[in-house]
Structure 1
Amino acid sequence: MSDVNVIITAVDKGMDIIDGYEREVEDLRAHVVFDIHSVIAAVEREKSFVEQEMDDLCYSSYEDTEDDSGEKADMLSRQREMYDSLLYQTSTRGEELESEWRCLCGQTFDLAEDSKRLMADYIRKLNRINYSGGATGYSSSGHGPEYYVVIVDSQKYPQTAEHIKMAQTMGFPEFVTLGRLDAAERRKASLADVKASPIYDRDEWPMAVFEEGGQGADVAYIEGRDNRGAGSSIGWQMRGFPDGSRVRVRVI
């Protein structure tokens, strides 16, 4: 593998680390929110128990001739006041903590996304260097890279990026195999059962240019400008990749 391909793969794996970090932050945020709401719910339950006891005591006092319930009623009243105060404090402070955590996690996600965007731009530039002037990207030993990386920018092509991301989430592959030769046949197969629209393009994932495309591909209607712009960007990035290459299509 060439030095450039080694760097591309390393940067891509670095982006995986950031993805994992984002998932951990989201898990932590969810746990914190759950704990906050659990504490508030626990206080609410204790308060409802006290109120139920007060209701039971009030009902039983009508049938009991002995006036021995006053002391218990006073105790329950004090407990209810205590839980009212505690519930107010936990709810107020809980909302503040939840807001603080959401803000902190949001800042963390923004930083992570900015970092991945810079890394993705670096990959695109490295690809340009690697394949400029007809370079093959292979090392002198003749071995190709572990895999190539293509970037789909959600800021430039939001609909295509969302479709690819959702399809990959549903189980469609993120790593695909480049096979330009039979692309037309695969495109025909993937779109055979999807009616053409006079307004929108039919976007496929995996794309027909990949061997994993064709019949069974996920197809979505998206705006033509978005679809064609993304297709052009992906094609440009893969212009030096040989057929049979393993390609990772990463959405940022």
Structure 2
Amino acid sequence: MAKKPSNAGSGATSRRLTKAVIDKLRIARKRNRGAHGGNVRKPPPPGTYDRRIFIDPKKFPQTAAHIRRAQQKGHPRILTKDSGNKRTVKQRRRDATRPLNEQPRNTWDRDEYPFASTKEGGPGSSVQYVWWKDNQGAGNEIRKQWAGLPQGGRVWVDTYRRPGDPP
């Protein structure tokens, strides 16, 4: 009669397999985190962007919090301006906000990150309801800060105060 291996029936093999799968997932997540920013507090290397866009969390707390969460989940911190074709921007916004296709109440807007006016925007964007004044105020601030930036210009979207920021 053949002897059973010592780990037969104990679940040791499946535990080892599960650990191997978990390790692979952990490595993949680390790789993705590095590609998309990882530590969103740390500035990206110089030369990887043309301009910094600062969303002040004191003025626009809900929008800044949404951007931080989206970046921490792996959405890019550096975006490429692509707002020339209004039809394309409108389609990206429609695709991004499709998961929340019911119209919000008068006091709420759907905020998407990455922005619809960037190449990275569109399907797969992070979408969240935020107070309309917060969302529209942040949108105006973004438009002011990237005025004059050519199409294809790269911007670093930042929500953390840095030395030299206005009070």
TM beyond 0.5: yes
Among candidates 190, 207, 211, match of residue 96 of structure 2: 190
Report the structure, 1 or 2, having the larger helix content: 1
Larger Rg: 1
User: Aligned match of 1:242 in 150, 154, 166?
Assistant: 150
Question: Structure 1 regions of 5+ residues with no counterpart?
Answer: 1-18, 21-143
Give the letter aligned to residue 196 of structure 1: Q
How far the C-alpha of 1:146 sits from its partner, in A, is 4.4
**RMSD across aligned positions (CA):** 1.7
What's the CA shift for 1:193? 2.4
The percent identity for this pair of structures is: 37
Cα distance in 2 for partners of 1:203, 1:188 equals 12
Q: CA deviation at 1:145?
A: 8.5
Q: Structure 2: which amino acid aligns with 1:197? A: P
Q: Deviations 1:139-175 (Å, cap 9, x if unpaired)?
A: xxxxx98421111000000000000001000001100
Distance 1:145 1:160 in 2: 24
Cα distance in 1 for partners of 2:49, 2:134 equals: 30
Aligned length: 111
Decide whether the 8 Å contact of 2:77 with 2:158 is kept in 1: yes
Deviations 1:111-144 (A, max 9, x none): xxxxxxxxxxxxxxxxxxxxxxxxxxxxxxxxx9
> Aligned AA for 1:176?
L
Matched residue, 1:179: 82
TM-score (norm: length of structure 2): 0.63
Q: TM-score, normalised by structure 1?
A: 0.42
The amino acid across from 2:135 in the alignment is N
1:169 aligns with 2:85: no
Q: Measure, in 1, the Cα distance between the counterparts of 2:113 and 2:121.
A: 7
CA gap 1:200/1:242 in 2 versus in 1, 3 angstroms: same
Question: Could you give the per-residue CA deviations for residues 37-73 of structure 1, whole angstroms, max 9, x where no partner exists?
Answer: xxxxxxxxxxxxxxxxxxxxxxxxxxxxxxxxxxxxx
Deviation at residue 211 of structure 1 after TM alignment: 0.8
Per the alignment, in what secondary structure is the counterpart of residue 62 of structure 2?
helix
Amino acid at match of 1:200: W
Q: Secondary structure at the match of 2:99?
A: coil
Provide the rounded CA distance (Å) in 2 between the counterparts of 1:147 and 1:185: 26
Which protein has the bigger strand share? Answer: 2
